[in-house]
Amino acid sequence: MKKILTTVICILATAFSIYAQNLPTTQIKNVKTGKKVKFNETLKEGRITVISFWATWCVPCKKEIKNISKKIDGWQKEVDFDYMTISIDGARAEGLVRSYALSQGWDFPYYIDANSDLKRSLNFQSVPFTMIVDKNGKAVWKHIGYEVGGEDVVFEKVKEIAAEK
């Protein structure tokens, strides 16, 4: 009986820890400021955040971000949410990330995960990788890849999440 009870408690404890798991505290670098920050601290409490993981060599990534950039002002008038990007380029490409973001006129936060530590923490293999974090700080939607029009699917998900109580 003690074995069964212990097993049940262990299973419940494991299930609870998975359910209540916070976003990684893995450090990434803010390319604008040059300062390292914990990933979970880049998200504003009580806000929905869309995160696009990308790389300077990834053409579909750039298309996705460009298409989101074109529509984001209108979207944010309809639903209040944040947007940010995280490059998975290596440390040597930080200058490329910065110059690309500046050339595109990005006015949203952009970071670099130069050692792919965050990528490993979130357990994804390729970019473009898009993730939506809800108001409670939980990753509630993830998607790999991009096709034109995919940005509208992301926004539909944001609207669904914003409508949830």
Domain boundaries, the chain: 24-163
113 with 49: CB under 8 angstroms?
A: no
pLDDT score of 1? 57
Question: What span, in angstroms and rounded, lies between the C-alpha atoms of 151 and 109?
Answer: 18
pTM, full prediction: 0.86
Number of C-beta neighbours around residue 71 at 10 A: 13
Residue-level pLDDT at 112: 98
Fold of 24-163: Glutaredoxin (3.40.30)
Query: Would you state the structure tokens that stand for residue 49, as one six-digit string?
Result: 């955040």
Residue of 56, 29, 51 lying closest to 111 (CA atoms):
29
Reply yes or no on whether the pLDDT at 9 is more than 60.
Answer: no
Residue 2 has pLDDT above 70, yes or no: no
Helix (H, G, I), strand (E, B) or coil at 36: strand
